[in-house]
């Protein structure tokens, strides 16, 4: 299986879709934003709300910890931008 082609030399993360993925996983796991805030050791929930709205992305450390808490992979949380040339996983 080829995961990367030369034409896909600049893949990008879709921040809004990634936020939607995180929100869906939180809902599925029945974990509130406040509870996730405490589990990640964040001082306030605003960071998580910015992730959910697509304004910013979680750090790699937070992404890894969330994936473990939610019982999913980091790839299930991250959404790739559609480029029209194919995605990294559909080859």
Q: What is the pLDDT of residues 15-54, one digit of tens each?
A: 999 999 999 999 999 999 999 999 999 999 999 999 999 9
Domain assignment of residue 90, yes or no: no
Whether residue 86 has pLDDT greater than 70: no
52 touches 91 (CB < 8 A): no
pTM above 0.75, yes or no: yes
The residue-averaged pLDDT of 70-79 equals: 96
- The CATH number assigned to the domain holding 29 equals 1.10.260.40
Domain assignment of residue 38, yes or no: yes
Instruction: Return the bridge partners of 80, or none.
Output: 13
All residues at 6 or more sequence positions from 58 whose CB lies less than 8 Å from its CB, including other chains: 22, 47, 51, 66
Whether residue 65 has pLDDT greater than 90: yes
Domain that holds residue 41: 15-77
Domain count, the chain: 1
């Amino acid at each position: 299986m080829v995961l990367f082609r030369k034409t896909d030399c600049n893949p990008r993360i879709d921040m809004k879709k990634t936020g939607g993925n995180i929100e869906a996983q939180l809902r599925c796991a029945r974990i509130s934003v406040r509870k996730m805030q405490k589990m990640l050791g964040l001082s306030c929930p605003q960071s998580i709300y910015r992730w959910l709205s697509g304004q910013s992305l979680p750090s790699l450390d937070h992404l890894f910890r969330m994936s473990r808490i939610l019982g999913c992979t980091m790839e299930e949380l991250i959404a790739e931008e559609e480029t029209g040339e194919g995605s990294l996983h559909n080859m």
